[in-house]
Amino acid sequence: MSRPVKSSQRRQTEKRALEPRLGLVRKSAPGPAPRLDPHPDPVPDPASDQGPAPIPDFTSKDALPLGPARGRGSGLNPGNRFESVRLHVLGEHLDETLAENPYGTQVKTRILPDQTKSFINPVDSPDLSMKWTINPYRGCEHGCIYCYARPGHEYLGMSSGLDFETVILAKHDAPSLLRRELAKRSWRGEAITMSGVTDCYQPVERKLEITRRCLEVFVECRQAVGIITKSKLILRDLDLLSKLREHRAVHVAISITSLDNELASKMEPRASSPRDRLQTVRELSAVGIPVTVMTAPILPGINDREIPALLEAAAGAGATSAGWVMLRLPYQIKDLFLEWLQRCFPDRAAKVESFIREMHGGELYDARHFVRQRGEGPMAQQIAATFRLFAKKHGLDKQRHALNEEAFRRPALGGQAELFA
């Protein structure tokens, strides 16, 4: 007669049967009873020489299941501040996913259509020089951890974290919308900035060419445009930019936050390298296109000491002016930035956070106009003074190039469309 199996033995047998499906391995442990290790040693990746990746910390409710995705800026994907319900993966499924992907994962960029019906947006912030802006995309694949535009994705029902840099909405109809709005009798040809809350030359633009097609409309209309980017892809459109230059109708601002490749790749993982950005300044300047270099944002304790070297390099590349903006952390960007700070600079994370709070009255952000982009207090004053001193030394303290708005000519829509312009 067979001996009956005790309930504890039965549970142990069931656990062993589940091990292969869950990707769990058994390790020896002190004492007679073996134990299950929910975090097995990963199998070495032949394509990597860095050894096993550390076990990610699952304590944060916003943490990604496998830790930060490779080649992305945000290590979190926080819930939407407009929604009260969140979904979380159960622990046993985290174990299974970790066993299958011990080295983390690559999150592919998804491109969704944006069915917007209007394109030119007014800007009413008193501390911004732009009056009108257009954004060919929503979200930005550059993945800059400090980007103040991240919270905009929450209006779309998505996260300001990983969603912002991996789910990009493309306005495929932007060129036709632009033409229609420039044809309106109410439009006066005032300068337009491209772009305010995205980078119009982010990687997806290489394939979609929405920005280029908008520039073709600008050239046709001689519409004045200021372009803000940190991508060398803008050089692809040098032919169109040169045509706008003939009418003094173009100005470019290149953002360069560091000359250190390693630091830049941490802050802006999918943006052009500092060397490529400086080369972009050279090539634009060489054909007479005025270029401003923006050392923006300044992260106190991270890149503020580079201000003198950045301005010297910008002047050497042919920039005609320079500007700066202090780090801004509205809404959930605070959590994204602090997680990034602890992950990338654990030795000085607390110090950097204290610098930020010192400039904002003890808080991480002050939304008041004119204060939000400069900060207050001794350290903010020191940064401003350092910038002024070296901008003057290198001849970058001049006013930005004034765009010619008089050259504008209204596009012809043709047919009945003109009746509704």
Backbone angles phi, psi at 186, to 5 degrees: -80, -15
Residue 98 has pLDDT above 80, yes or no: no
Mean pLDDT estimate for the chain? 84
Average pLDDT over residues 294-322: 98
pLDDT of residue 392: 97
Q: Does the residue 166 lie in any domain?
A: yes
The more confidently predicted of residues 192 and 51 is: 192
Residue 381 has pLDDT above 50, yes or no: yes
Q: Which residues contact 79 (CB under 8 A, 6 or more apart)?
A: 61, 62, 86, 159
Instruction: Specify the range with the lowest mean pLDDT, choosing from 12-26, 93-107, 163-177, 274-288.
Output: 12-26
Average pLDDT over residues 294-298: 97
Instruction: Specify the range with the lowest mean pLDDT, choosing from 63-67, 244-248, 355-359.
Output: 63-67
Q: Does the residue 368 lie in any domain?
A: yes
Q: Does the residue 329 lie in any domain?
A: yes
Q: Name the residue with tokens 């394109």.
A: 119
Q: How many CA atoms lie within 13 A of 193 on its CB side?
A: 17
Average pLDDT over residues 225-234: 98
pLDDT of residue 272: 96
Q: How many CA atoms lie within 13 A of 192 on its CB side?
A: 25
Domain that holds residue 305: 110-393
Q: Does the residue 44 lie in any domain?
A: no
Backbone angles phi, psi at 52, to 5 degrees: -60, 140
> Domain holding 201: CATH number?
3.80.30.30
Give the start-end residues of each E strand in 137-197: 137-138, 167-170, 192-194
Q: Which residues contact 223 (CB under 8 A, 6 or more apart)?
A: 182, 189, 192, 217, 249, 408
In the chain, how many domains are there?
1
Q: Does the residue 43 lie in any domain?
A: no
* Core vs surface per residue 184-199: b (16+ CB within 10 A) or e: eeebebebbbbbbbbb
- What 3-state class would DSSP assign to 313? helix
Q: Exposure of 25 by Cβ count < 10 A (0-12 exposed, 13-18 middle, 19+ buried)?
A: middle
Average pLDDT over residues 56-74: 65
Split at pLDDT 50, 70, 90, the class of 43 is: very low
Q: Does the residue 317 lie in any domain?
A: yes
Average pLDDT over residues 256-272: 96
Q: Please answer whether residues 104 and 111 qualify as being in contact, where contact means their C-beta atoms are separated by less than 8 angstroms.
A: no
Q: Does the residue 421 lie in any domain?
A: no
Whole-number Å distance between alpha carbons of 253 and 232: 12
pLDDT of residue 135: 98
Q: Does the residue 74 lie in any domain?
A: no
